[in-house]
């Protein structure tokens, strides 16, 4: 396999992490909506944990983006 093709495959696999992050974010917000629907008085407490979870999932997506940029840099150099 050509090194350029392997780099493209690697970037595609790293970018697939965005799909997982999208699913994770959708799951988090969906569950928060369910909880607030059942117990409206718990909204403030649940919302705090929602944002923490959102930040952690988004960080995983950013790690994937960093890996893509690293592979792009290796391909050029």
Give, rounded to a whole angstrom, the gap between the first and last alpha carbons of the chain.
Answer: 19
- Domains of the chain, each with CATH number or no CATH: 12-76 (1.20.20.10)
Say what the pLDDT of residue 37 is.
Answer: 95
Task: Specify the DSSP element, H or E, that contains 65.
Answer: helix 43-76
- pLDDT, one tens digit per residue, over 16-58 is 888 889 999 999 999 999 999 999 999 999 999 999 999 999 9
Q: How confident is the model at residue 71 (pLDDT cuts 50, 70, 90)?
A: confident
Say what the pLDDT of residue 53 is.
Answer: 94
Is the separation of the CB atoms in 74 and 13 below 8 Å?
no
Say what the pLDDT of residue 17 is.
Answer: 81
Any residues with CB less than 8 A from the CB of 72 and at least 6 apart, and which? 7, 11
Inform me whether the pLDDT recorded for 77 exceeds 70.
no
Task: Specify the DSSP element, H or E, that contains 8.
Answer: helix 3-15
- Mean pLDDT to the nearest integer, 52-66: 91
């Amino acid at each position: 396999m050509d090194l350029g093709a392997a780099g493209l495959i690697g970037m595609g696999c790293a970018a697939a992490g965005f799909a997982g992050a999208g699913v994770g974010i959708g799951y988090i917000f969906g569950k928060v909506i369910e909880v607030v629907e059942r117990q409206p008085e718990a909204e403030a407490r649940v919302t705090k944990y929602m944002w923490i979870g959102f930040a952690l999932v988004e960080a995983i997506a950013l790690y994937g983006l960093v890996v893509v940029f690293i592979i792009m840099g290796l391909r050029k150099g």
